[in-house]
Amino acid sequence: MAPIDVKKICCIGAGYVGGPTCAVIALKCPHITVTIVDLNQSRIDAWNSDDFSLPIYEPGLVDVVKQARGRNLFFSTDVDKAILEADLIFVSVNTPTKKSGVGAGFAADLNYVELATRRIAAVATSNKIVVEKSTVPCRTAESMRTILESNSHGGARFDILSNPEFLAEGTAIKDLLSPDRVLIGSLQTGEGLDACQALANVYANWVPKERILTVGLWSSELSKLAANAMLAQRISSINALSAICEATGANIDEVSHAVGFDSRIGPKFLRASVGFGGSCFQKDILNLVYLSESLHLPEVAAYWRQVVDMNEYQKSRFSKTVVDTLFKTITGKHIAVLGFAFKADTGDTRESAAITLIRDFLSERAYVTIYDPKVEESQIWQDLSEACPNTPLETIKKYVTIVHNVIEACKDKEAVVIATEWKEFLEIDWQTVYDHMTKPAFVFDGRLLIDADKLRKIGFKVKVIGRGDSTQ
């Protein structure tokens, strides 16, 4: 059988995964036409904006889009045309955790995946390679194949591949340009292996062949969940140790540094914090929990569930520290929260620790002022509304203020809480901040950013996650 030559790629979904991934493919494969489609007109308009005000903030993304857009990279709402013309179709739609029905709170909601799959079957009149790019539960490809084969027409044949993303927000472009590995899963049939090779050939335009891993379809799907679960497990493990450090007087920085020197462990993902967030870690672990329970493996499910439970505990423990330190009450007090994104170098707020902290502060009737350099105000209001469903937005706005610089955020506040590790927070003029705060002035560092001794010399009362009072 002649090798499959991919000349046109369609990506359904212009979000955090599909947009950057396919923009880099277009950049590195000028001979392939890449069309990214989405039904959200405003999102596509942003991707096509003259001033490159893209709907996603990711370092390096604008440069990639500038080089490829209009040459071989296109953004459109004409989903059917893109499907019809494509040789290979990435399905890169959202797969949030279900909010109702069977598996609510754990299982992935595959409604968008199914809708995209049905659209492909309805429109396609020629053979297509359909690639799972969304994070999905194990054996989702089987469901997609059933839908495609049951609804195909015009002699079209579909080959299903799994090609999970392993991007870290904030370094996504770097990760795409020089990935640790590209994983492609396929059925181990002649047609499946041919489709797998076709996608591998696309990546081989810039990724060394030894980094392109080809595996079975189900192994690929599970590998994505497993990778995120194990990374999150490391974070929850070091955060659990941070609680012990605070109780004993040990220093979590010193502990993690010592542990990380072990070549079997390594230093990555051993930095204590107020908790992990983002679109993947919690969602993927909960998918793994649901999968384990459905396979009648309750002990396995309980094991992975504890990783999420520890993350929630870390956030609630930190907010309790703020309340306890501020003389056991924050009612009517004014608190600055620096950072709202779940991590630095992204505008993404999904599962952000800041949301949980602010929700807890509002439940104590404190006044909160928020500053984040990249998150849009509309996103903050939306997130707080969802976090406090029983409180009208008008009421929330009486207690929450959004400002546009650190000094303004901290002025006349009793406490400053660092919730995101933005680099600009390393350069705060703490003397100026102190001069304009209510005394005693408190700083709570949830990201291990500050020089605590320096701040104490200025006059601050300082609490750093993972450091007990006896180390002060």
Q: Which residues are catalytic?
A: 280
Joined tokens for residue 143: 């469901």
DSSP 98: P
- 228, exposed or middle or buried, with CB in 10 Å at 0-12, 13-18, 19+? buried
Cα 426 to Cα 450: distance, rounded to the nearest angstrom: 7
Cα 26 to Cα 68: distance, rounded to the nearest angstrom: 6
Element (H, E) at 146: helix 140-151
Is the bond preceding 440 in cis, omega lying within 30 degrees of 0?
A: yes
Q: How many CB atoms lie within 10 A of CB 171?
A: 14
Element (H, E) at 401: strand 400-402
CA count, 13 A, side-chain hemisphere, 272: 29
- 331, exposed or middle or buried, with CB in 10 Å at 0-12, 13-18, 19+? exposed
Cα 60 to Cα 171: distance, rounded to the nearest angstrom: 9
Contact at 8 Å (CB) between 207 and 29? no
Joined tokens for residue 294: 């459905």
Q: What does the angle CA 405 – CA 410 – CA 415 come to, to the nearest 5 degrees?
A: 145
In terms of DSSP bridges, do strands 158-162 and 182-186 run parallel, antiparallel, or are they unpaired? Answer: antiparallel
Contact at 8 Å (CB) between 419 and 445? no
